[in-house]
Amino acid sequence: MKNLLGPWQKRGLISFGLGFVVFVAAAATIDFEGANVLTLIMLAAAGVFVVAAFVLIAIGPRRDKKEKKAEPYL
| pLDDT of 71 higher than 60 | no
The pLDDT-based confidence of 14 (bands split at 50, 70, 90) is very high
Query: What whole-number distance in Å separates Cα of residue 34 and Cα of residue 14?
Result: 28
Q: What is the pTM of this model?
A: 0.73
Give residue 13's Cα distance to chain centre: 5
| pLDDT of 19 higher than 90 | yes
Query: What whole-number distance in Å separates Cα of residue 33 and Cα of residue 19?
Result: 21
**Model pLDDT, residue 1:** 40
